[in-house]
């Protein structure tokens, strides 16, 4: 499964990131690269069956706190 994830991200980088860089869209390239790196880390973690912290409970607590006021 890990190899599939790595191959998938290699294709994404070759198709998407290289084209953004060649077109001179530097800001879009950097933001897209950052999101790609973050999603790659999460995908590899899931492929290796590493538990990932879920932000659902803290977000729920924030909304409950905001709605009480």
Q: Domain map of the chain by residue range?
A: 2-68
Give me the pLDDT at residue 7, please.
Answer: 92
How many CB atoms are closer than 10 A to CB 15?
Answer: 9
Q: Which two tokens stand for residue 19?
A: 């084209």
Which of these, 20, 47, 24, 22, lies nearest to 34 by C-alpha position? 20
- Does residue 12 have a pLDDT over 90? no
Give me the pLDDT at residue 69, please.
Answer: 64
Give me the pLDDT at residue 68, please.
Answer: 86
Average pLDDT rounded to a whole number, residues 5-12: 90
d(CA 55, CA 15): 31
Q: What is the pLDDT of residues 18-61, one digit of tens each?
A: 888 888 888 888 898 899 899 999 999 989 988 888 889 999 99
Where is pLDDT greater, at 65 or 17? 65
């Amino acid at each position: 499964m890990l190899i599939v994830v790595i191959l998938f991200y290699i294709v994404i980088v070759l198709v998407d990131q290289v084209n953004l860089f060649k077109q001179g869209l530097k800001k879009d390239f950097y933001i897209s690269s950052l999101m790609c790196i973050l999603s790659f880390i999460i995908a590899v973690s899931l492929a290796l069956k590493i538990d990932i912290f879920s932000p659902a409970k803290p977000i729920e607590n924030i909304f409950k706190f905001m709605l009480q006021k």
